[in-house]
Amino acid sequence: MEQTVFETHRPAARIIDDSLAGTKHGVFWLEDVADSAVTYPKLDGSVTVDDAVVGGGYAGLWTAIKLKQEHPERRVILLEAVKVGWAASGRNGGFCEASISHGEPNAEARWPDETGTLRRIGYENLDAMEQFITEHELDVDWERTGQLSVANHEYQVDWVGESPDPHVVTLSETEVRARVNSPTFLAGEFSPRENANLHPAKLAVELAKFAAKIGVEIHEGTPVDRLEGRDDEPILLETKQGTVTAERVALCTNVFPSLLKRYRFHTVPVYDYVLMTEPLSDAQLASIGWDGREGLADMANQFHYSRLTADNRILWGGYDAVYHVGGRIKREYEDRMESHRRLASHFFTTFPQLAGLKFTHRWAGVIDTSTRFCAFFGQAHGGRVQYVAGFTGLGVGATHFAADVIVDRLEGRVTERTELEMVRSIPLPFPPEPAASIGINLTRWSLDRADHNRGKRNVILKTLDAVGLGFDS
């Protein structure tokens, strides 16, 4: 098997050791908003409302806002188990991509007749988010910078220029390195409309503030233990603080176990790891260029993603996507020095001119992976309970689209969104353990082998492709 550039051009161990020596295990984004975040009270007693939303991440916040805007006279409540934005919404890479299908290749493989429609809707969705953020003056460090995808190996250069999206610009080695200067970059594609960078924790904080301002009742520290109801009766949400009785319910619980048992096996928790550097000096920034501040990712199956923050730190994440046997969510899984050391090594392979730069923070987040690698929509109780999950790490923008779908369906509206095959279809569930661990880790091994074999997919990946379970990042 061939070695990747990250193996043939490893930095000295001393460079890695020094870069991580003072790193804090903590989420930079969440620390950065600690002083500005609002604390919302726990639920205190039983209440009756019109609409209830479970989950205080992006999907829940957008849904609550849209429900309240649709019917200002209705009582809307949002229940969050811990704190608004504390999980995936507050610890992601800060990319807000236009794709709602986890990339165009994923859409082409699953819904070839809808690929163009999904692309258009994705752009419209991102535009709508930008308009909302601008109109309401939300302080979220929004930058519509576009997305730069780079080839790190010769075989990946052949993939450049294959996108059917007319907005994508093909870049030679000279052109891509004029944008971001790395000796590993051999070619690239720039999508000017595809991405916006933002501060993820600020977005959660600002959406919650806006929701509260228009009358959404937000309760933190209020996990929902059980959902009960019949098709012709109000829905009951049971918490330790009291029962919420609602006519309609939106479940936006991301990676955490669904309150609807029928969807318990439709997602699995996969851990993604991230590093954040100290702010770059002017000289360090000049050495890499990056004047366009584009979102950055490479073309491998095990890919890296990177971006500049408002104060010119570099966020560097990806590559390792770890499923732990048993599919449990545990805080201890977030501290995996093996993954953070690997990320640091790959960082200095990509930017050797930044040797000596320190990482200030390292963390991890749990991704709600589905078998089709993008969100799916479920429902129960005659459509009065709507559910979304499975964003698979690309939910910053897609959650806004999901909220529109949920509201359409709760209102009984038939729209272009609700009629998409992507919305109407449900992916296959994952098998129970131990089959899940065996299958997921075998797939991960196969993707790594492909990255070491000029991108060639083995019989395992080809079989998954044939049955609609394949993934090409």
**Extents of the domains making up the chain:** 435-466
pLDDT for res 450: 77
Beta strands 385-389 and 242-251: pairing type? parallel
Instruction: Give Rg (Cα) of the chain.
Output: 22
What integer pLDDT is reported at residue 472 of this predicted model? 46
Token representation of residue 118:
């999904």
At residue 109, the pLDDT reads 86
Single out the residue of 432, 427, 434, 407 nearest to residue 418, CA to CA: 407
What backbone torsions phi and psi does residue 254 show, to the nearest 5 degrees? Answer: 55, -125
How high is the pLDDT of residue 307?
97
Is residue 72 reached through a cis peptide bond, with omega within 30 degrees of 0 on the bond before it? Answer: no
Residues 412, 410: Cα–Cα separation, whole Å: 5
Specify the pTM: 0.95
Name the CA dihedral angle for 175, 180, 183, 189, rounded to a multiple of 10 degrees: -50
Beta bridge partner(s), residue 454: none
Which residue bears the tokens 């000029």?
454
Residues of the chain with pLDDT under 70: 462-473
SS3 assignment, position 277: strand
Q: What pLDDT does residue 468 have?
A: 57
pLDDT tens-place string over residues 115-138: 999 999 999 999 999 999 999 999
Q: For position 473, what pLDDT does the model report? A: 41
- Using DSSP bridges, classify how beta strands 147-151 and 187-191 pair: parallel, antiparallel or unpaired: antiparallel
β-pair type (385-389, 376-380)? antiparallel
